[in-house]
Amino acid sequence: MAHFIDVILPIPLEKTFTYTISEEEVSFVEMGMRVSVPFGKSKIYTGIVAAVHQTAPEIYEAKEIHQILDDYPIVSPLQLQHWKWIASYYMCTLGEVLRSALPSAFLLESETLVLLNKDAEVDENTLMDNEFLVYEALQHQSVLKVHEVSAITERKNVMPILQRLLEKKIVLLKEEIYEQYKPKLVKYIRLGPAYRTDESLELLLESLKRAPKQSQAVLALFQLQATSKKPIASVDLEKSSNTSAAVLKALVDKEILETYFIRRDRVNFDGSSDDSNAKDLNEYQLEALNSIRKSFDNERVALLHGVTSSGKTEVYVKLIADLMKADKQILYLLPEIALTTQLISRLQEYFGEKIAIYHSKYNVHERIEVWNNVLHQKPKAQLVIGARSALFLPFKALGLIIIDEEHESSFKQFDPAPRYHARDAAIVLGNLHKSRILLGSATPSVESFYNVQQGKYGYAQISRRFGNVLMPDMELVDIKEAQRKRRLKGHFSERLLQEMSEALEMGEQIILFQNRRGYAPVLECLTCGHTPQCPNCDVSLTYHQYKKQLRCHYCSHATAIPESCLACGGSDLDTKGFGTEQIEEEVRKLFPDAKVGRMDLDTTRGKYAYEKIITAFEQQEMEILIGTQMITKGLDFRNVSLVGVMNADALLNFPDYRAHERTFQLLTQVSGRAGRTKKRGKVIIQTYNPYHQILKQVSTGDYDGMFQEQLYEREQYKYPPTNRIIKITLKHKNYNVLNEAAEWFSSALKNVLRATVLGPEYPPVSRIRNQYLKNILIKIDKNESLGTSKRNIRRIEKSFKAISSYRSVRVIYNVDHI
């Protein structure tokens, strides 16, 4: 009898492919194992077995597989079920989900490039003949394609060889490699806890009379403390007191001084807490924890709504600890893993060796290691921290999913497919595992809060900051008025400048937020009004002064700044608008003595660049940090007392139905960076529109007001959460073809669907990388079946693709577009 398997291939095909297997193989193969298979004329792919059966395919003759690659399934039936849901809900193929889900090293294919791992210690005697041939070839040639490996080994079937070489860590796959950053730790020194009062100090100096060197060191420490609030590095004290490391060590041994590291020990040594690991929750945190636990009896999902710095993380920690005890796996999802060095070190304090970090930029070995550890339920990966792709790991006993900063739009994958929302896909995953899901945010998304109101989610609130620190004091500054009276210095109002000077004088740090990078969005000719445009995209080029370039933020096209206008030859060129680069320049002029840093996409490209900036700011090597929304996210800086928002209007005017919600979230989050310790923080928001409702809601912390108003508008204009939306983007290099095709598609949709169909319309940037774009927006009522609507859309797409001139138009679905 013939045996067949259905294989999911990592390519955008709608169906699985059927292959034949031998009698021998059938006793071995299982769903979820990898097989390498031939495809088309000469391609080889690695795919996943989705089914084993005895029905031959009807329209093609099944080919034989090359080889089974695994001894056991690396993907579970439950995962496959989850992936199928993603494919169907987000209107993409299972192959596309597979490609996103599996680490690329699991998916060797004919196009894969392999190279030698230079760090590997290779014992040539342990290599099999074929492995040795490949190893040898890589000594002479830096990269090999899989078909070249075939030629070298004279075998059609080389996946197993490469797989073994990968497992032995002898080869790497060519891709970007991201290593974990270990910041250099600076050792700081301060008085021991027993000597921090004035009285104890006198006694101390008295007792040190017979140790002049030690007394000298203590006095020097005083002097340093008196002149600056900054932490004092051990080496600095050594120098300024003219003593030695040995003297300081003697003082530390006597517990007169103590040393600490800001980064590593912050969790332990912070203010009131002692150095025991487990922190006791305060009454508000406890109350929240209890209501979450209670709600988990009835509901799978709960929302923790806690203001910035209320100590949400500590609540998560308690819940995680419960699950750890029960030997369950825990998934902790974050919007962007690069932004979370701080959080990771905090969690490591509690769960040490039990944490695994999963990141699509980690190298293949690390990712495969985490995959296998999760698959085999190793304690090493009991708690997985990761960005959205961690959702695809082969969990076996998932007990809890935490989705921190659940409102963040970066949880939604934009490109390529699957365009899934990690929060929503995680809830589905949690349901499959019968685990609990906790969403956390200081500014919950309208969707999630709506679900709470509908009784679908449990809810807990913390409305006070930890340690009863006051919420920052927010002030709206009208820059229209200031501009009219010519009271602006650069882009700075008098109020902001005044607060900045005060903060600097007190030795406190400042964050300035401007959500636009570069120097200025456009360069404009004052004579003819021409602004240089990107040749590939329908957008003006951004002016970058530092690199003396004009750059496109869509396709990264760059040219030198022209000396004169390309249109009229005039030499009066000026910039319009402003970005972080320009703010930095102004700050340097206004405060020449202050140390200034900038954090945006341009300054964080290099390896570890992001971490270096954070560490430097944390260690107070900088006083002012200027940044885009990167600086809004969950960072916990102790000494920031002032946050300045340079211009709130750009956010509000963004052409998107979420612009107001997002402005509220962004401004609340960035404000939350101010005054996280005892002293009340200050936030200055500069705007042309101080009476704007959203700004008022931000400045009074009126989440409920914001929610009510936004929900009302969403209902009126048929947007989520009361309606479902699907955005269809059509893409083609020919303008006329695209226009015609888009008209066809949208009128078909209008005829067939029981939904509101808007468009086709050009998006604000209507051409990117020489491809024209047109959008169609479908708004589906909650009472209509989403499944039926999607099936209808698919049917229309089929007829559309049957028209030969439209075949080359790309159709991109974005379900729940945000």
Residues making contact with Zn ion (CB under 5 A): 534, 536-537, 552, 554-555, 557
612 binds, among ligand ADP, Zn ion, none (CB under 5 to 8 A by kind): none
Would you say 662 and 654 are in contact if contact means Cβ atoms under 8 Å apart?
A: yes
Tell me the H-state helices in 485-596: 494-505, 580-590
CB closer to ligand ADP out of 279 and 433: 279
CB of 92 to Zn ion, least distance (A): 26
Residues 211-240 touching ligand ADP, rule: CB under 6 A, are none
Does the protein bind ligand ADP through residue 309 (CB under 6 A)? yes
Q: What span, in angstroms and rounded, lies between the C-alpha atoms of 338 and 631?
A: 12
The vertex-201 CA angle with 196 and 205, nearest 5°, equals 145
Provide the mask over 311-330, with x wherever binding to ligand ADP is found by CB under 6 A and - wherever it is not. xxxx----------------
Q: Which residues pair with 383 in a beta bridge?
A: 330, 355
What radius of gyration, in Å, describes the C-alpha atoms of the chain?
A: 30
CB of 497 to ligand ADP, least distance (A): 29
What six digits make up the tokens of 513?
Answer: 């937020």
Q: What residues have CB less than 8 Å from 255, skipping those under 6 apart?
A: 192, 194
CB of 666 to ligand ADP, least distance (A): 15
Antiparallel, parallel or unpaired: β 458-462 and 436-441: unpaired
573 binds, among Zn ion, ligand ADP, none (CB under 5 to 8 A by kind): none
Residues 279-308 touching ligand ADP, rule: CB under 6 A, are 279-282, 285, 306, 308
CB of 425 to ligand ADP, least distance (A): 23
CB closer to ligand ADP out of 403 and 776: 403
Q: Which residue is associated with the tokens 């997985």?
A: 384
CB of 579 to Zn ion, least distance (A): 17
Q: What's the one-letter identity of residue 609? A: A
393 binds, among ligand ADP, Zn ion, none (CB under 5 to 8 A by kind): none
CB closer to ligand ADP out of 309 and 373: 309
Q: What span, in angstroms and rounded, lies between the C-alpha atoms of 330 and 110?
A: 36
772 binds, among Zn ion, ligand ADP, none (CB under 5 to 8 A by kind): none
Dihedral in degrees, nearest 10, Cα atoms 373, 375, 377, 380: 20
Provide the mask over 613-642, with x wherever binding to ligand ADP is found by CB under 6 A and - wherever it is not. -----------------------x------
780 binds, among ligand ADP, Zn ion, none (CB under 5 to 8 A by kind): none
Does the protein bind ligand ADP through residue 310 (CB under 6 A)? yes
| DSSP character string of 207-256 | HTTT-HHHHHHHHHHHHHHHH--S-EEHHHHHHHHT--HHHHHHHHHTTS
CB closer to Zn ion out of 367 and 732: 732
CB closer to ligand ADP out of 337 and 711: 337
Give the number of residues in contact with ligand ADP, rule: CB under 6 A.
18
Q: Which residue is associated with the tokens 């932004």?
A: 339
CB closer to Zn ion out of 269 and 554: 554
| Sign of the alpha-carbon dihedral angle for 784, 790, 793, 798 | negative
CB closer to ligand ADP out of 312 and 718: 312
746 binds, among ligand ADP, Zn ion, none (CB under 5 to 8 A by kind): none
Burial of 431 (0-12, 13-18, 19+ CB in 10 A): middle
Neighbour count for residue 571 (Cβ, 10 Å):
12
The interface region with ligand ADP, picked from 103-111, 287-295, 310-318, 485-493 by CB under 6 A, is 310-318
CB of 436 to ligand ADP, least distance (A): 19
Provide the mask over 462-481, with x wherever binding to ligand ADP is found by CB under 6 A and - wherever it is not. ----x---------------
| DSSP character string of 503-531 | HHHTT-EEEEE-S--SSBSEEEETTT---
The interface region with ligand ADP, picked from 167-175, 290-298, 309-317, 741-749 by CB under 6 A, is 309-317
Report the candidate in 643, 644, 662, 642 with the shortest Cα–Cα distance to residue 652.
662
Binding site for ligand ADP (CB under 6 A): 267, 270, 273, 279-282, 285, 306, 308-314, 466, 636
